[in-house]
Amino acid sequence: MTTTAAVEAVWRMESAKVIAGVARLVRDVGLAEELAHDALVAALEQWPSAGVPVNPGAWLTTVAKRRAVDHLRRQQVLAAKLAEIGPEQAADDRKGVQVDFDAAFEHDIDDDVLRLIFTACHPVLSPPARAALTLRLVAGLTTDEIARAFLVPSTTVGQRIVRAKRTLTEARVPFELPPRGQLGDRVASVLEVIYLIFNEGYAATAGDDWVRPELCADALRLGRVLAELLPDQAEVHGLVALMEIQTSRLRARVDEAGRPVLLMDQNRSGWDRLLIQRGLRALRRAEDLGGTLGPYTLQASIAACHATASTPEQTDWQRMAALYDALSQVAPSPVVELNRAVAVSFAFGPEAGLEIVDALDDEPALRRYHLLPSVRADLLARLDRNGEARAELQRAAGLTDNERERALLLARTAALSSERPGAQ
């Protein structure tokens, strides 16, 4: 690995922690991101000659915090000078810039990344802006990757991020966890963001890798922390259950060469039974809290249908179809309908599933969504309409930005006549 590649890899893994640690000092996520990028530039300049540090993440954090301390000291000097001109103006300018410099580099026992998420999910921002900003700051995703996660143009996401950072700065949003009495109002946005981060790791939207386990691990860690923080929130445990069960399949989702392996073709002995058991316990905890099951708990129940089936043939597809029916009532969306079509096709036949898929043709959100033609291809192949299926697979291959997935779709196109239908 070249030094530049090493810097990029470290940044991908450590950027959220660096930004969060600096944000705790400067109380401004936009400024924290700028200072963290200053540290990144320093790494690109120094590491090629000095070598990669033993603890590169700590190196980046230290450099970024030093830049933050320098910035805050300049602010305090400016405030002192303003005091000579006008005490009232000086008092205003000193707000938010006082810092204990001796404590700036001490380890903070709280989770700064979780604080960063709650700050980025502040009610002053719109829900789309909260998710986009947090994916950028916490997951380190590019604007294009976030756009694909939301199924919106990249320019829209870029504008959301810029406006969100400016809004947080202008509103002087504190970098802290909200009081316990206000947590509930912000949990839904936080869960959405954590789940989007997890999904980007579970099925990468772009690049050479189909899965990015480090993003799944980050999302799962944050979910577990949130579950400890909010033990009485059923949907928090529902999301943790969903991520635990889905993570159990990560190793089986790719072969030794990194190529995707579809769900129906996976070696289930390679699924992590410990993670499945953890997920099932979290699911029971969510159900025991009572009330109407929320979207994450319902999705966890669907994942449990796969996890508890020893073979694909033993999957309770009728129960899964019923769960998707419930999910479509609680959280209706075109993507939920597409997944419901798959469950219905296995429970009641491919014709029933194809009827649902065909009804989604005019959905604007799915116009560039590669899984729509991919699912249609599976259903057509099961109906022995192979020519139509091949055309749909080729269309799907042209829509995906993930190289591994494109190769899989093209391989399925070439071998369609001998391929057994499978689900993703």
Q: How far apart are CA 159 and CA 171, in angstroms?
A: 18
Q: How far apart are CA 365 and CA 298, in angstroms?
A: 23
Q: How many CB atoms lie within 10 A of CB 294?
A: 21
Q: Give me the pLDDT at residue 1, please.
A: 61
Best CA proximity match to 138, nearest among 34, 222, 43, 63:
222
Q: For 31-45, 125-139, 180-194, which range has the lowest pLDDT when averaged over its residues?
A: 180-194
Radius of gyration of the chain (CA): 24
- The DSSP letter of residue 241 is H
Residues 4-29 have a mean pLDDT of 85
Q: Enter the pTM of the model.
A: 0.72
Q: For 75-79, 249-253, 332-336, which range has the lowest pLDDT when averaged over its residues?
A: 75-79
Q: How far is CA 397 from CA 120, 147, 407, 413, in A?
A: 35, 19, 8, 9
Segment 52-67, tens digit of pLDDT: 888 888 899 899 988 8
Provide, rounded to the nearest whole percent, the portion of the chain with pLDDT above 70.
89
Q: Confidence band (pLDDT; 50, 70, 90) for 78?
A: low
Q: Give me the pLDDT at residue 30, please.
A: 86
Mean of per-residue pLDDT scores for the chain: 86
Query: What are the residue ranges of helices labelled H in 248-333?
Result: 273-288, 295-307, 317-330
pLDDT at 82 over 80: no
Q: Give me the pLDDT at residue 318, please.
A: 97
Q: Give me the pLDDT at residue 81, please.
A: 56
Best CA proximity match to 312, nearest among 179, 213, 423:
423
Q: Give me the pLDDT at residue 85, please.
A: 52
Q: How far apart are CA 349 and CA 42, in angstroms?
A: 59
Segment 205-240, tens digit of pLDDT: 776 777 888 888 888 988 998 898 789 999 999 999
Q: Which residues contact 379 (CB under 8 A, 6 or more apart)?
A: 341, 345, 350, 353, 354, 357
| Phi, psi torsion values for 402, nearest 5 degrees | -95, 120
Q: Could you tell me if residue 206 is left (phi over 0), alpha (psi between -120 and 50 degrees) or otherwise beta?
A: beta
Q: Confidence band (pLDDT; 50, 70, 90) for 417?
A: low
Q: Give me the pLDDT at residue 86, please.
A: 54
**Bridge partners of residue 357, in order along the sequence:** none
Segment 258-295, tens digit of pLDDT: 888 989 999 999 999 999 999 999 999 999 998 889 99
- Highest mean pLDDT (candidates 66-70, 194-198, 335-339): 335-339
CB of 334 closer than 8 Å to CB of 365 = yes
Helical (H) or strand (E) element with 406: helix 403-414
**Bridge partners of residue 402, in order along the sequence:** 207
Q: How far is CA 382 from CA 358, 416, 420, in A?
A: 16, 11, 9
Q: Which residues contact 225 (CB under 8 A, 6 or more apart)?
A: 111, 114
Segment 297-316, tens digit of pLDDT: 999 999 999 999 999 999 99
Q: Give me the pLDDT at residue 144, please.
A: 86
Q: Give me the pLDDT at residue 307, please.
A: 96
Segment 323-382, tens digit of pLDDT: 999 999 999 999 999 999 999 999 999 999 999 999 999 899 898 999 999 999 999 999
Q: Give me the pLDDT at residue 422, please.
A: 47
Segment 103-152, tens digit of pLDDT: 444 544 347 888 888 888 888 998 889 888 988 888 777 888 888 777 68
3-state secondary structure of 141: coil
Q: Confidence band (pLDDT; 50, 70, 90) for 80?
A: low
The domains located in the chain, with CATH, are 3-97 (no CATH), 112-173 (1.10.10.10), 186-302 (no CATH)
Q: Which residues contact 231 (CB under 8 A, 6 or more apart)?
A: none
Q: Give me the pLDDT at residue 418, please.
A: 53
Q: How far apart are CA 170 and CA 125, in angstroms?
A: 12
- The DSSP letter of residue 359 is T
